[in-house]
Amino acid sequence: MWNFLRNAGRSYMLLVLLFVLAPIAASLVFSFNADRFPSLPLKGFTTDWYRETFSDPLVLDAFVRSLYVAVPAGMLSTLLGFAAAYTDYRFSFRGKSLFNMLMLLPPTIPAVIMGLAMLSYLSRLNLAGNMYAVLICHVVTGLPFSMAIIRLRLGQMDPSLEPAAWNLRARAGQTLWHVVIPFCRQSLVAAFLITAAVSFDEFIVAWFVSGLEETVPVRVLVFLQGQVSPRINAIGTVVFATSILLVVVGTAFSGLGKASRAGKAVDSSDNA
């Protein structure tokens, strides 16, 4: 009985994985399919959709805009997320749980509601209808993620590391710079990559507040409102490949000797 269940369970798990991955694989396959209307059997290999997509100025502009938003949004979310995570790690104060709730709440508010709220609020401030509005919204969305990632890493830090640096007369800022930040380097890079990816992928709030300055996913949404378009597959595949590449490069790059670096940082802070 247990053995039968084991095999049945494994096959069922494969089915679930298939359901989850099938749309992604299909989009990859059909982005190279010659037939405009996606169906089986495949009609032959083509890169036309890519050429068509990336010679479309609307798409290219959207890509540039998305990058202009995603990179600063990632950096700002990481900085603010670090400040929030460190506040939670180091200090205890009244209303701290309220502070944490405020920081972590945004993902639980449906994006349509955030979009409407941001649109009406920012247009009252004359800030809506451009990329800065999208940037602001994406930092709000990204901050909780970066805070969570960095807070996890801070939790692994020896709590006596910082007091040791203070005892060696490092000032608070020096300790932060030479001890805490090197220790968190990997999580900072991870937080940046993930929040940039979140921004690059977010389309609902961006759709509300961006006005005519569309980002890539907003452009996809517009394509989706039209007819069948293999361009969606081409854009999707490029975006997917880029994010996977970024994450792989990021983790490989930041994973180099983080432990020894943190140790060295403690050594070097005593001549301060």
Partner 1 sequence: MSAPVKQRRWPLIVPPLLWQLVFFVLPLLFLVVISFWSIQNFKLEPDFTLKNWSTMLSRTTFWSAYAYTWKLAFVAAFGCSLLAFPAAYSITYHLSESMRRIAVLLLIIPFFTSYLVRVYSWQVFLSDNGIINSALSLLGLDRIPMLNTAGGTLIGFLTLCLPLVVLIQVMGMSQIDRSLIEAARNLRAGPWRTVYEVIMPAMKASLVVAWLFAFILCFGDFVSPVYLGGGASPTLSTLITDTTKSGQQWPRAAVVAIMMIVTLMATSLVAVRYAYRGGRK
Stretch that binds partner 1, among 45-53, 62-70, 108-116, 262-270 (CB under 8 A): 108-116
Q: Tell me the number of residues near partner 1 by CB under 8 A.
A: 87
Stretch that binds partner 1, among 52-60, 157-165, 181-189, 252-260 (CB under 8 A): 157-165
Least separation, in Å, of the C-beta of 153 and partner 1?
A: 16
Least separation, in Å, of the C-beta of 61 and partner 1?
A: 18
Pick the binder of partner 1 from 162, 170, 187, 196 (CB under 8 A).
162
The per-residue b/e assignment along 200-212, b for 16 or more CB within 10 angstroms, e otherwise, is bbbbbbbbbbbee
State yes or no: residue 156 binds partner 1 (CB under 8 A): no
Cα-only R_g, the chain: 23
State yes or no: residue 106 binds partner 1 (CB under 8 A): yes
Q: How far apart are CA 270 and CA 177, in angstroms?
A: 13
State yes or no: residue 36 binds partner 1 (CB under 8 A): no
Q: How far apart are CA 17 and CA 30, in angstroms?
A: 20
Q: Which of residues 199-228 bind partner 1 (CB under 8 A)?
A: 201, 203-204, 208, 217, 220-221, 224
Whether 62 contacts 214, CB under 8 Å: yes
Tokens matching residue 66: 């998305």
- Give which of 39, 40, 47 is closest to 231, Cα–Cα: 47
State yes or no: residue 86 binds partner 1 (CB under 8 A): yes
The DSSP output letter for 210 is -
